[in-house]
Amino acid sequence: MTDPLLSVENLQTYFFTEDGVVQAVDGISFDVMPGELVGLVGESGAGKSVASTSILRLVEDPGRIVGGRVEFKGETLFEIETDDEGTPVENEDATPVETDESLSQQEMRRRIRGREIAIIFQDPMESLNPVYTVGGQLREFIEINRDLGKSAAKTAAIDMLREVGIPEAPARYSDYPHQFSGGMRQRVLIAMALACEPSLIIADEPTTALDVTVEGQILDLVADLQEKYGTAFVWVTHDMGVVAEICDRVNVMYLGEMVEQADVDDLFYDTKHPYTEALLESIPRPDRTVEELNPIAGVMPEAIDPPRGCRFHTRCPDAREACTRIDPDCRVVEDGYSPHRAACIKYDAFGNVGYDASPPLDNETRSGVDVTLTGDGGHQGGDDDE
């Protein structure tokens, strides 16, 4: 079996604010195989973007990676040291202790970012400097990361602009970002990400600001380039339509935690977690005819004070009293060619934790604003009879 290209294990990223600790990413794990396109989906506030920037250690103050491990091509990018009980070890100033195998920030900049793992951000106008030409910025990126001279880097930059479908690339090389449309600016960012032929590209909602026609063109472009270069992608989005079109496997996040992981077909046609089911029922689908869409009830709670137990129980139509006590991990609930994982105690994989015997929660509890059931949000886990 092929080893994962990227392996994320128990990643935790918190933001330490005056109001409290925001548990933006709280113990997620997932893999990306070589050449695979993996979706990372969920509502705004689920922690998707924080997770993606954490992989490259781009989290800014007051954010801090406080736990977990990320491995790329068998090499540890970073790992937080833990004691015998699995608790992260801290320095005297309360910062986490990294293992000796972890790469330094300098090594990340020199060896990993751009060269091995590239990232495409959501808004191209925030990523391109308005006072420099598009070609100059792309050329400089190539110079730094591919050790080419200025002339050779310019040639490579023009070739990449052609590759991503920029018309009259030599002439447009000297244009400024404001002279490009939104779709063309996004193509420039894709060119920049592909310029060093990285093994993995993290695309953080790269089509959100585009109209549907341009979005379709960008998705077709990504599919063609992925096939040509064999590049793996982590595609961060809230758009389940995009997920259905381009992803091989999907990871669903809710309030900092992973709630479902499956092949894209299994996720859409054999949905396991109530949150994923609610997401799918809230959008139009070409394979189903419905009289009306069903929005997800309530609002997502604050990550600074998440609900105890399952974090979705305040909005879940299947929630029972046991769900307020047990915070389930994302485990295999159905075997197959690719295991289907879900974080829901109604499945046999979690053993006899009292789900069937406990009473359903009432409508008020499911409104999404339940202050009586909020607390530390820590994992409590049920007894596993397996």
- The whole-number pLDDT of residue 92 equals 79
The beta strand positions in the chain, using DSSP E, are 6-17, 20-32, 37-41, 63-72, 75-79, 117-120, 200-204, 232-237, 249-254, 257-263, 331-334, 340-342
Give me the torsion for CA of 316, 317, 320, 323, rounded to 10°: -20
Q: Could you tell me the domains of the chain?
A: 257-373 (3.40.50.300)
Q: What are phi and psi of 25, to 5 degrees?
A: -130, 125
pTM of the model: 0.86
- The whole-number pLDDT of residue 42 equals 92
pLDDT, tens digit only, all 386 positions of the chain: 689 999 999 999 999 999 999 999 999 999 999 999 999 999 988 999 999 999 999 999 999 999 999 999 999 999 999 888 778 888 877 788 999 999 999 999 989 998 899 998 877 777 889 999 999 999 998 988 888 899 999 999 999 999 888 999 999 999 999 999 888 888 898 888 888 889 999 999 887 767 777 788 888 888 888 888 889 999 999 888 889 889 999 999 999 999 999 999 999 999 999 999 999 888 776 667 767 777 888 889 999 999 999 999 999 999 999 999 999 999 999 887 789 999 999 999 999 999 999 999 874 544 444 434 444 444 444 444 44
Tokens of 24: 């933006």
Tokens of 235: 């595609």
Burial class (CB in 10 A: 0-12, 13-18, 19+), 306: buried
Alpha carbons 357 and 55: distance in angstroms, whole number: 41
Alpha carbons 326 and 378: distance in angstroms, whole number: 9
Put residue 354 in one of left, alpha, beta given phi > 0 → left and psi -120 to 50 → alpha: left
Long-range pairs for 137-140: beta carbons < 8 A, 24 or more residues apart: 137/192, 138/188, 138/191, 138/192, 138/195
- Angle in degrees, CA 367, 372, 377, rounded to 5: 95
- The whole-number pLDDT of residue 372 equals 40
Alpha carbons 328 and 320: distance in angstroms, whole number: 13
Tokens of 255: 């309030």
- The whole-number pLDDT of residue 209 equals 67
Alpha carbons 371 and 366: distance in angstroms, whole number: 11
